[in-house]
Amino acid sequence: MDNGRILQLVTFKVGNEEFGVDILKVQEINKMMSITRIPNAPDYVEGVINLRGKIVPVVDLRKRLNFPKRDYDKNTRIIVVELDGMILGFIVDSVCEVLRIPESIVEPPPSMISGIDSDYIEGIGRLDNRLLILLELKKVFMEHEKNKIREIGES
Amino acid sequence: MEGAAFLSDELREIIAEFVLESKELLDRATNDVLAFEKTKEEELINNVFRSIHTIKGTSSFLNFNNLSKLAHVSEEVLGRIRKKEIRPEKQVIDVLIESFDTMRAIIDRIEKKGTDLVEIDGLVKKLEKISGGENGDIQKETSDPLPEEKKETTEMKSSEIEEQTIRIDVKKLDELMNLVGELVLGKNRLIALNQNARVNGLSEKLIDSLSEVTSYIEFITNELQLSVMRARLVPVRKVFNKIPRMVRDLCGEFKKEVELRISGEETELDKSLIEALHDPMVHIVRNAIDHGIESPEERIKKGKNRKGLLSVTAYNEGNHIIIEVFDDGRGIDTKAIREKAKEKGLISDEELSSMSEKEIMNLIFLPGLSTAKTVTKISGRGVGMDVVKTKIERLNGQVYIDSEPNQWTKLVLKLPLTLAIMKSLVIEKDKELYAIPLNTVSELVKLKEEDIKFVDKKEVIVLREKIIPVLDLSSVFGRDRNGKGCGYLVVCNVEERQVAIKVDQVIGQEEVVIKPLGEFLGNIVGIGGATIRGDGRVILILDISSLVRAYSLSHQKRTHIS
């Protein structure tokens, strides 16, 4: 993958793993705010928030990636992203930094990483002694999502 | 004209305007021609002439030669009718209407592809023949299939794109401008107060003026909201205008004779509602003529007037507009509906026996239930009425039917004035707030546990000797019951049925701005949208009819949840 390109990422933590998403997808990062739960929605959909008058659905990344449950604390953040014109938020344990890494250090995902379905992973960034998991947001939000929603409608 | 891509912005704008205007002119021309066919009033044919003349002028200016040619030959025919040189017989009117249809197809094509290359020679010949005076020959040829294009016309109509522009009365705009002016004044006062407070600190006097300005701004904002809403209102005429033409076609198709009466076409509705109303109205009118009104022979046998009556009426009722479609046809056969519902297993026997006649009639809105014996082009496939219902419900409206066997059928559409703002009742259940659309709420009842009875393991309450099923939001939404408060029942009317919803507390009436949950969450059963309250919290708006459907279906075989 060596073509000298630089990736700019927002990195954040869920559990002990460090993740990164393309900074261009990120609209804003918010502190935890009051969330209205939606009945009959998939369980990892935490609910909806009021983002300056816009209703935005929020997904709990912990639940989505099958991490054990944990209470929200002062470090909890909602990262708001835009995907194909939809505004969505996802909850992470904490946000770390903005990082620039050369694309060349990103490796394709191994088949299985700490229980996370490797479908969600775009690649693994190897930095000194850290491992950075690059999330494929589209897959995190969409693929299984759509099926689940359909299931709810049909069940 | 090679294609839309090569047009300059300016020209494109002119063409867009032309498309819009011509569509309106053609609608008007079609209606006028039909009215003329009936009344033979001279003024009407003059109107048609003028409309077509305008299209001819503009289209030749824009170099749409096919369109202007067609308009030209139609104008010739109209001119000769005007001079009473041709008698306006049915086949003449037929050809004129065919020509208007083709013009519309050409305009659609101009809109989509920027070109008017449509085959019109056959039609032009027909029109020329008429204006040439050979009145006798055309009868055979009117049945000529218009090659290809004709087919495309019908397809295009169904996929018609929503118009994104709106014509607005200058008066309404002035009103808006005035209010904005007032708002600016209010803002200035607020700024002055703010500065004053900065310099002098908060005094009692300042707080007084602040609350005065606050209420002033509140007043202006409300007025502004109303005005903007009104600016979006369009007369329902836009939908009703298409009915005479449709009725004429359908009468031909089904060999029926119908007298159409339309009233209240000046009643105003939100523009987005007008667009969405078109398809349901097509279904309803078709149904009325196909299934409702009997053939002339049958009507005479029954001692009725040979001509059936179809009346379409619109009027305001509070914050809603009502559209009634009435026909004096054969009415609804509740026996057939019962049999069909049983045969298809849509409703259990016990439930059927406990339903009133009116409730049975309203079963025709269930998917898969059609009592028509024969299948025709549109109606009779068991899709029509449930499509109407889902469409109307999507607009936060309601639809129900009433009928007297062998006498009449009346279909009532109840629609909100606007889609954006809705009156609602805010309630609390399990520590969550929900908004219930106020148009469905009929009353509030204080809940006493001993009033709840069980029928067939389902909770019900008896209210003035009527048994009403009770719906518990906790179980429908899969929540733990942990609410405080003494509890109320909100009795809602949906589809001529009543349901009582258990709530913990009633907060009060509020006007809410409806916001969609977005496509990510898709359709969630029982939830119609969300709104943001004054304190910034998001609350969900309940969709009572989908709740009821999900609830009653959960007791039977689940067939379909839309």
Domains of chain A, earliest start first: 6-154 (2.40.50.180)
Q: Which among B471, B538, B560 is the top mutation candidate for probing chain A, defined by the most A β-carbons within 10 Å of its own β-carbon?
A: B538
CB contact under 8 A, B519 and A86: yes
- A123 vs B536, more confident: A123
Is the Cβ pair A39, B515 closer than 8 Å? no
The rounded mean pLDDT for chain B is 79
Amino acid at A90: F
- What pLDDT sits at residue A151? 47
Highest mean pLDDT among A70-79, B334-343, B410-419: A70-79
Q: What is the pLDDT of residue A153?
A: 44
Stretch B511-516: mean pLDDT: 80
CB distance from B553 to chain A under 8 Å? no
CA distance B435 to chain A (A): 13
Query: Could you tell me which chain B residue has the CA closest to the CA of A46?
Result: B521
DSSP conformational letter for B347: S
Alpha-carbon distance B94 to B23, whole Å? 19
Average pLDDT score over chain A:
82
Q: What pLDDT, on a 0 to 100 scale, did the predictor assign at position B219?
A: 84
pLDDT value at residue B511 = 81
Q: Which CATH number fits domain B4-158: 1.20.120.160, 3.40.190.150, 1.10.8.60, 1.10.10.10?
A: 1.20.120.160
Beta bridge partners of A56: A49
According to DSSP H, which parts of B396-541 are helical?
Answer: 473-476
Residue B425 β-bridge partners: B436, B509
Cβ-defined contact of A141 to B537 (cutoff 8 Å): no
Domain ranges, ordered by start, for chain B: 4-158, 170-231, 235-416, 421-553
* pLDDT at residue B2 tops 60: no
B515 contacts on A by Cβ (under 8 Å) = 54-55
Alpha carbons B249 and B257: distance in angstroms, whole number: 11
Identify the top-confidence range among A10-19, A123-132, B173-182, B526-535.
A10-19
Strand partners, B158: none
Q: Which pLDDT score is estimated for A115? A: 52
A47 contacts in B (CB within 8 Å)?
Answer: 538
Closest CB to B532: pick one of A45, A53, A88: A53
Segment A18-40 mean pLDDT:
91
Tokens 């204080």 sit at which residue?
A: B446
Residue A2: closest CA among A110, A106, A128:
A106
What mean pLDDT do residues A106-110 have? 80
Residue pLDDT, tens place only, B62-89: 888 888 888 888 888 888 888 888 888 8
pLDDT band at A31 (very low <50, low <70, confident <90, very high): very high
Residue B543 reports pLDDT greater than 50: yes
Regarding the domain delimited by B235-416, which CATH topology (the fold level of the hierarchy) does it fall under? Heat Shock Protein 90 (3.30.565)
Using DSSP, how many helices (H) and how many strands (E) does chain B show? 19, 18
Max mean pLDDT range (B154-163, B173-182, B245-254, B528-537)? B245-254
First-residue to last-residue Cα distance in chain A = 44
Task: Check whether B462 has a pLDDT greater than 90.
Answer: no
Q: Which residue has the tokens 């037929």?
A: B94
The per-residue pLDDT for range B483-501, each reduced to its tens digit, is 666 689 999 987 667 889 9
Q: Is the pLDDT of residue A91 over 90?
A: yes
Residues B519/B320/B471/B361 CA torsion (nearest 10 deg): -100
**pLDDT cut 90: percent of chain B above it:** 8
The residue among A127, A136, A116 whose CA lies nearest residue A20 is A136
Of the listed ranges B149-163, B218-232, B364-378, B452-466, the one predicted with least confidence = B149-163
Give tens-digit pLDDT for B289-305: 888 888 999 999 988 88
Q: What's residue B36's pLDDT?
A: 87
> Is the pLDDT assigned to residue B111 strictly greater than 90?
no
Positive/negative CA dihedral, B229, B232, B234, B238: negative
CA B219 to chain centre: 31
Phi, psi of B514 (to 5 degrees): -80, 130
B519–chain A Cβ distance below 8 A for any pair: yes
The amino acid occupying position B3 is G
Alpha helices, H only, B159-203: 170-200
Find all residues with CB under 8 Å of B106, minimum gap 6, and list them.
B64, B66, B67, B70, B116, B118, B120
What are A's interface residues with B at a Cβ cutoff of 8 A? 34, 36-41, 45, 47-50, 53-57, 86-88, 141, 145, 149, 152-155
CB B236 within 8 A of CB B274: yes
Q: What is the CATH number of domain B421-553?
A: 2.40.50.180
Are B525 and A53 in contact (CB < 8 Å)? Answer: no
Measured between beta carbons, which residues in chain A are less than 8 angstroms from residue B558?
155
Q: What is the pLDDT of residue B201?
A: 79
Q: Å from B499 to nearest chain A CA?
A: 20
pLDDT at residue B139 above 70? no
Nearest partner of B339 among B304, B373, B388, judged by Cα? B373
CA atoms of B381 and B374, how far apart (whole Å): 9
What is the predicted pLDDT for the residue at A112? Answer: 58
Q: Which of the residues A38, A82, A150 would you substitute to probe the B interface, choosing the one with the greatest number of B C-beta atoms within 10 Å?
A: A38
Chain B residues touching A141 at Cβ < 8 A: 520
Beta carbons of B330 and B406 less than 8 angstroms apart: yes
From B64-78, B160-174, B211-225, B394-408, the region with the lowest mean pLDDT: B160-174
Query: Closest Cα partner for B330 from B298, B368, B370?
Result: B298
Give the helix/strand (H/E) hosting B545: helix B544-553
Q: Which residues of B touch A154 (CB under 8 A)?
A: 561
Please say if the pLDDT value at position B152 is more than 50: no
Q: What's the alpha-carbon Rg for chain B, to the nearest Å?
A: 29
Contacts of B525 in chain A (CB under 8 A): 40, 152-153
- Give the pLDDT band (50/70/90) at residue B313: very high
Closest CA to B409 of B294, B244, B252: B294
- The closest alpha carbon to A55, from A89, A91, A93, A90, belongs to A89
Q: Tell me which chain A residue has its CA closest to the CA of residue B559.
A: A154
B contacts of A50 (beta carbons < 8 Å): 532, 536-538
pLDDT at B127 over 50: yes
Residues in chain B: 562
pLDDT confidence of B163, banded at 50, 70, 90?
low
Q: Among A36, A40, A149, whose Cβ lies nearest the Cβ of B539?
A: A36
Confidence of residue B331 (pLDDT cuts 50, 70, 90): confident
Nearest-10 crossing angle of helices B65-82, B121-131: 20
Euclidean distance between the first and final Cα of chain B, in Å?
45
Please give the distance of CA B555 from its chain centroid, rounded to a whole number.
32
Q: Phi/psi at B517 (nearest 5 deg)?
A: -80, -15
Q: B93 vs B47, B53, B276, B307, B438, CA distance in Å?
A: 15, 17, 30, 21, 48
Helix (H) or strand (E) holding B500: strand B497-503
Tokens 């969900």 correspond to B540
CA distance B55 to B77: 15
Residue B353 has pLDDT above 60, yes or no: yes
pLDDT average, residue stretch A108-120? 64
Residues B228-286 have pLDDT tens digits of 877 888 888 888 988 998 898 889 888 889 999 999 988 888 888 888 888 888 888 88
Query: Which residues make Cβ contacts (< 8 Å) with residue B508, sequence separation at least 6?
Result: B425, B426
Select, from the ranges A98-107, A112-121, B389-398, the one with the highest average predicted confidence (pLDDT). Answer: A98-107
Quick count: other Cβ atoms within 10 Å of Cβ B177?
11
Task: Read off the pLDDT band of B431 (50, 70, 90).
Answer: confident
Size of interface A-B (CB pairs under 8 A): 73
Helix-then-strand count for chain A, H and E: 3, 13
Q: Check: CB of residue B427 under 8 Å from CB of residue B505.
A: yes
